[in-house]
Amino acid sequence: MRLQGKCAIVTGAGSGFGQAMATTFAAEGAKVFAVDRDQQAAQKTVDNIQDKGQHAQSFCCDITDAAKVKEMVSSCISELGGLDIMVNNAGYTHASQPLDQVTEDDYDRVMNVNVKSIYLSALEVIPYFRKQGSGVILNTASTAGLRPRPGMSWYNASKGAVITLTKSMAVELASEKIRANCVCPVAANTPMLGDFIGDRSKNTEETRNAMGADIPLGRLTESQDVANAALYLVSDEAEFITGVALEIDGGRCIS
């Protein structure tokens, strides 16, 4: 059990990467606070975990709302008995389109969900981590922040910010034994893929196969790929690793 005795918050836990991380962490002994803006989706993840005799609780939260984030962290500490791992995973994207056609509302939503949410969670978890003398922050970034693609400029910018922010947090907090890393998946086989395309109905096997063909290892990222990497980064096995932006991309960034 690689996370035995640990307590973890995972945002965006109702689907995709977050669901896989929550499930994997629980299987490895963690008590998981599964957070999503969709209460039913979060509870479904929790039900699947509890059906296996593992520990998880759901929490409905708009991660762009400071008051709700504060409540999220305090509720986790109260209900699970502590907090060791903060996973800022929930994300949002605008559809692929020319940068000057993205609406201001979509721009604000991308930046608030992908970047501001990390700021808000940091305000709550860092004082707690300081007091206990340890803690791990894991952010979900993207290869979009490392190898930007046309049509995704504002999303690319948000994920570039996550990467730089992660590295900055790591160097600033290292002396207090608080680690910060991020994972950088390439396009993934998750519901969010349809949002990138701009039409969820086009998230078909044919589309996924065509997109995967452009990746050296020949497929898209699967949620479990990200969960496996996340498990290592939040575990004590990675106690000397901080400030890393780990590419989970089948070689996309080097091709």
Indicate the pairing of strand 135-140 with strand 31-36. Answer: unpaired
Q: What are phi and psi of 87, to 5 degrees?
A: -110, 110
Spatial CB neighbours of 74, under 8 Å, sequence gap ≥ 6: 124
| DSSP structural state of residue 47 | H
Q: How far is CA 210 from the centre of its chain?
A: 25
Query: Annotated catalytic residue: which of 92, 107, 128, 155?
Result: 155
Longest Cα pair distance anywhere in the chain, in angstroms?
51
The reply to whether 155 belongs to the active site is: yes
CB atoms within 10 A of CB 38: 14
Spatial CB neighbours of 151, under 8 Å, sequence gap ≥ 6: 96, 97, 98, 99
Residues annotated as catalytic (active site), given as ranges: 155
